[in-house]
Amino acid sequence: EGQVKALANAFEELRHTQAELMHSEKLATIGQLASGVAHEINNPLQVILGRTQMLSRTEKDESKMQSLRDIESHTVRIAEIVDGLLSVARKDTSGEIKEVDLNLVVARALSLLESQFSLNDIVVVKDLDSSNPCINANAGQIQQVITNLALNACQAMAGSGGTLTIRTRANQDNVEVEVIDTGPGIDEAIMDRVFEPFFTTKPEGEGTGLGLSIVLGIVQAHGGTVKVGNAAGGGACFTLYLPAASKSDQIAA
Ligand SMILES: Nc1ncnc2c1ncn2[C@@H]1O[C@H](COP(=O)(O)OP(=O)(O)OP(=O)(O)O)[C@@H](O)[C@H]1O
Ligand SMILES: [Mg+2]
């Protein structure tokens, strides 16, 4: 019986590894596509934006002016999507890696979202490890990770209000960040898919489905992992594991 169990475990592990491989291959393909196309799209976009802004300067008719504003805002939206694709593609973090205090990055990300939280009746609980957990990282990218997770939590709780808890913990090898909300949580049926590029349950025009693939790309580029699950209270819970600075130092040495 022990052998059967071991075999079952091995199978499960194999299935999991295969799923991960397929996922990273998908990301890599999208990355190649994105960097090739994004540049080509950006040039005409800038032309459209420039001409629209030029016309806006002299337009007197209010309804035509509104159309020009619509064109401008939608063009900006396209530019943002292209940008998002590029951040999924951008694997390399060289250049700006520094020792970063995770608590500071978390605080900075949250303070920029303050108005969104209060607008949606969301209370933020910060439970930050006082030993100042440090990682070797690109601070801007890690801030983006926290921002994407907090925004998702905010969107999940919008309408009903709730509590967003962010917890940092330093272990010996890893620094962990938990982002927990009190929203509806994530259906088991889609749990495997939330990190896929373009996977979204939001209405068209609201979500692109890139937020979590950007999170995964950045965390993996930093040598870390992300886990998703539902918290005891029913909301979603995302946990980041990032290599602690001292450990990565040893690897680099
Ligand atoms: N905190 C959460 N609570 C419930 N569901 C979530 C949460 N975070 C993510 N999800 C689910 O995972 C999906 C993918 O999230 P992701 O951030 O990648 O894309 P998005 O939020 O839909 O769009 P975008 O981030 O591009 O605006 C969401 O559409 C939602 O179904
Ligand atoms: Mg999102």
Count of helix runs (H) and strand runs (E) in the chain:
8, 7
**Does the beta carbon of 200 sit less than 6 angstroms from any atom of ligand 1?**
yes
Distance (Å, whole) CA 238 – CA 152:
11
Ion ligand 2, residue ranges at CB < 5 A = 152, 211
Residue 13 Cα to ligand 1 midpoint, Å, equals 26
Looking from the CA of residue 156, the nearest atom of ligand 1 is 3
**Does the beta carbon of 186 sit less than 6 angstroms from any atom of ligand 1?**
yes
**Does the beta carbon of 137 sit less than 6 angstroms from any atom of ligand 1?**
no
Half-sphere exposure of 210 (CA within 13 A, CB side): 17
- CA 210, distance to chain mean position in Å, is 7
Per-residue CA distances from 155 to 23, 113, 120, 200 (Å): 25, 12, 9, 12
List of long-range contacts for 61-65, beta carbons under 8 Å, 24+ apart: none
Distance (Å, whole) CA 104 – CA 90:
24
Question: Do residues 140 and 174 lie in contact, with contact meaning Cβ atoms separated by under 8 Å?
Answer: no
**Could you tell me which CATH number the domain at 2-89 has?**
1.10.287
- The radius of gyration computed from the CA coordinates of the chain, to the nearest angstrom, equals 21
Q: Domains of the chain: which residue ranges?
A: 2-89, 98-252
List of long-range contacts for 114-118, beta carbons under 8 Å, 24+ apart: 116/151, 116/154, 117/154, 117/164
pLDDT (tens digit, 0 to 9) for every residue of the chain, 253 residues total?
788 888 888 888 888 777 777 766 666 666 666 667 777 888 899 999 999 999 999 999 999 999 999 999 999 888 877 777 666 655 544 457 889 999 999 998 898 888 889 999 999 999 999 888 899 998 888 988 999 999 999 999 998 999 999 999 998 889 999 999 999 999 999 999 999 888 999 988 788 888 998 899 889 989 999 999 999 989 999 999 999 987 545 444 4
What tokens were used for 31? 């990355």
Most ligand 1 atoms within 8 A of CB, residue of 194, 204, 238 to mutate: 194
Most ligand 1 atoms within 8 A of CB, residue of 206, 212, 216, 240 to mutate: 212
Tell me which residue has its CA closest to atom 25 in ligand 1: 211
Give burial (CB, 10 Å; 0-12/13-18/19+) of 122: buried
Q: Does domain 98-252 have CATH number 3.30.70.330?
A: no
Residue 173 Cα to ligand 1 midpoint, Å, equals 29
